[in-house]
Structure formats: C-alpha cells, structure tokens
Structure 1
Amino acid sequence: MTITLDMPAESRSKRLKAVTHTTHDRLDKAIMAGEPFASLARYALFLKVQHGFHREIDALYFDPALDRLLPDLSGRRRVGLIEQDLADLGAEMSVAKGEPAFAPAAPMDIPDALGWLYVAEGSNLGAAFLLKAAAGLGLSESFGARHLAAAPEGRGLHWRTFTAALDALDLSEAEEAQVTAGAQAAFARVQALVADTFG
C-alpha cells in the first residue's frame, strides 16, 4: 500500500459518501428519533452510543501502520473525551458486549480499518449541529459535550487532511471493496447500538 499522486476524477472519500448515503441517512434518522437532546437523560443515552462505537475502534488510533498513512491519528481519538462527558453527567459507561471490532495488538486489516475511521471522522465533521443542540441542555466543549468540539484547526480542515490522505492511498480493487465494507460495517454497528440503547 503506497501513496499515489494520480487521483481519479472521483475521489475515494466521495465514492464512500455516495455508496453509504442511504445507510448514513437511515442512521441519522434513527438517532434523532431517539430525541437525544430532549433531556440530559436522553443525551446520556446518546453518549453511551458514542462510547460503544468508539470503544470498537479505539485500538486503531494506536496502530503504527495506520499512523504512517493518516495525519495526526492519535490526536483524532475521542473515546477519552466521551468518557469525560459521561463523567460530567454522572452517567455510567456503555456496557461492553464481547470483544471490540478491533482488538489492541491484534493483526490489523488496514482497508477495513480505513472504512471504520472514515465513518468516525465523518461524524466529527457533522458534529457542529449536535454541539449546538447540546448547548440547549447547558452543555459545551468543556462540559458534557467535549467529544463534539471542533479540532483546533477547524472541522473543515481537519476533515480535508484526513480525506486527502485517504484518497491518496494506492489500493487494489479488493482493498477498495474492503474499505467500503468497513464503512458499511461501522454504520451498521452504530445502528445496532442506537437500537439497543434507545430501544
């Protein structure tokens, strides 16, 4: 897997956005149907969903191979911020069921991992709306909604540096399919967490 400067007309990140659009839209509607900003108790459920998902991918942020491919990978890790948000609200952590999707120190399927990270990074790009809604509950980047805060360089640039690195990877056709499958699996995992948590 190498970096290439010859980018196709349609980038990998744009193809991922197109192919996961329906799944992403269904997930967004499921989350909002749970009314996560109706009360602090509902918001705590949303945090548990977030914690459950980021628990699944936490090992990715420590993987040396991924770190060589993606900019500021460790700085993009959010599970610690979510745990602080839960503590701010006096809420319990999500109850882990089984092993996470990516176990620490386990052999890493890089294309699959890239798909999951695409979903995680995309959720941060769209978190500005969620942060505004959380403010209605008295929450902020420094209390209860830390994980929704923008990166110091801004959401747009933070996302573009990630997608530029993702788009520049030279992948085989089979690896491309794995990236897409990873993104779909990540969305499906969050959908399942929403169903389990919000009922």
Structure 2
Amino acid sequence: MSDKTLTPRPSNLSREQFVSQYGDIYEHSPWVAEIAWDQGLSEKEDTPSGLAEVLGAVLNAAGPERQLEVIRAHPDLAGKAAIAGELTDDSTREQAGAGLDQCSPEELARFERLNQAYKDQFGFPFVIAVKGKDRYDILEAFKTRLKNSADEERRTAIEQINQIARFRLQGRVER
C-alpha cells in the first residue's frame, strides 16, 4: 500500500467535500464516509492506507443489517448489470481487470448459476476483491465460500469489501 498522499487531502475537506470525493469508495454507501468524517480525520488519514483503516473500522463497527446493506449494494460478478453496462465505473474497471468481460457464453452461464446458488444460500451477492485474480480464481473462490456459514460469509464479504476499498483508494494516487 502506497504512503503517497491522497489529493485532495481528506483531513482538509469539509464534510460535504469529503463525502463528494470519497463517498463512492463503498459501493452506493456514502454513509461510511459520512461517519468517518464525523468521527474526525487527521493527517494520518491523508494516505490510502490511513483512510482505508478508518473507513474499514466504520464498516466493521456497523451492525449486521447495515453491513448486509453494503454487501447487497454490490453487483453480481459477470452478471446482468455488467452485461448491460450498468456497473459503477470502479466495478466496471475491476471486473474487466479480472477478465470477467471476456467470459465465454459457457463461463457466463457458470457465473450466473454460481451467483444464484450463492444468493439463494446467503441472501446477498458474492463479493470478492478481484484485483490480482482471474476468472478461474474467482470461480474457485465461489466453490470454497459456498461451504461457509451465513455469519462466516457475511464477515468474509465485509473483509473483501474493505479490501476493495483499499484498492480503490490506492488507485486514486496511482492515476
């Protein structure tokens, strides 16, 4: 994780500016940034790793229902929203980076079956930080995680979402 400074510096922003700049780090969940700002930001949070720690702590401290809202805000991997071009810019880049935009019709059908089996079992979409993974790694992770309990899988999904947030913040200093 880079220790470069985020621009604009989170600790120098008003609440409105901070939420405008960083409220999209968690998919359709600006409340995470709102709470982080409300708790107070220092220069430690002006780096991707520092801000990721604070934002992750907010999500980790949220109750299970609030965490489920964040999980449910994520799209299916290689799902209908991706095919229709309805993903957020971050999700589109992330899924393309893992090659999910290059799936064969058979692979897309497999993703669709696994996405549905996962949602049937847990009541929320499968979420994984795809950076550094390819579609085969992701398909394997589906099989492994389908063996988890609901609580275990909620915690795993939150860990993955926090990892996605770290990658997104890192990407902001690398652009």
Scaled by the length of structure 1, the TM-score of the pair is: 0.27
